[in-house]
Amino acid sequence: MHSFWAEYIFVMGPFLAGLVGPGPDFVMIIRNSAANTRKSGVITAIGLGLGILTHATYAMFGLGVLIAKSQFAINLIKYCGAAYIAYIGVNALLSRQKLSKDIDLGHNETKGMSSWHAFRMGYITELLNPHAATFILSIFLSVQLSPMVWRVSYGLSMSFSSMIWYSIAAIFLTNKILRERFLSKRHIIDRVAGVILIGLAIRLLLAKITVVG
């Protein structure tokens, strides 16, 4: 059991350090929380966490070895991810300023983003994030000889810690004081998020992501 916890720290330490860093997932949380609702932000966080769990699942069951050693597969994830992030960014840039009837500052509510839309944005953003994919693959390749139950616990821990971290961010961004300010400047948040997401997409396209191992 001692060896399990030693390996658990070895696996989760780098993951948690990378989790708090900036990226398209965090920008998505900011946009969906600050410019929509707390519920949208939390559901986006759940989508991001399940995207992490998807990467961990195929990694722990062996498919990750094939992907990790295929430059074509990694490049495919990279280009699809960049395209999706750019698509969300362009949509944010082109979004119209919400009319007053769409924003209720008194009740801290907005209209427009369904739960399914928020979940899908989070899940696909993480699923098509090649940095997350290769990072998780590299972690699981280093522990591929460990018992399956250990690896399952790592994957679940990664998923739940992602959900918790991004949910905390969503809750913080939607406290009453910040909420009123964010909603009154929703169109500005959309524009800034759009520029950042497009920039991240371009950066992703230019990044050189090589096979693992």
Give CA–CA dist 91/87, Å, rounded: 6
Higher pLDDT, 183 or 83: 83
Q: Is 161 exposed, middle or buried (0-12, 13-18, 19+ CB in 10 A)?
A: middle
Does the pLDDT at position 24 exceed 50?
yes
Average of pLDDT values for 62-79? Answer: 73
Q: Which of 53, 68, 67, 61 is nearest to 154 (CA)?
A: 53
pLDDT digits over 88-110, tens only? Answer: 888 878 876 543 344 444 444 44
Higher pLDDT, 136 or 111: 136
DSSP string, 109-156: EE-S--HHHHHHHHHHHHHT-HHHHHHHHHHHHTTTTS-HHHHHHHHH
Q: Which of 72, 59, 62 is nearest to 211 (CA)?
A: 72
Higher pLDDT, 40 or 210: 40
Going from N- to C-terminal start, the domains of the chain cover 36-206
Average of pLDDT values for 47-74? Answer: 82
Average of pLDDT values for 117-123? Answer: 93
Q: Is 45 exposed, middle or buried (0-12, 13-18, 19+ CB in 10 A)?
A: buried
Give CA–CA dist 17/161, Å, rounded: 11
pLDDT at 191: 80
Does the pLDDT at position 4 exceed 70?
yes
Does the pLDDT at position 181 exceed 70?
no
Calculate what percentage of the chain has a pLDDT beyond 70.
79
Please state, rounded to an integer, the average pLDDT across all residues of the chain. 80
pLDDT at 96: 63
Give CA–CA dist 30/36, Å, rounded: 9
Does the pLDDT at position 48 exceed 90?
yes
Higher pLDDT, 120 or 59: 120
33: tokens are: 């929380």
pLDDT at 64: 63
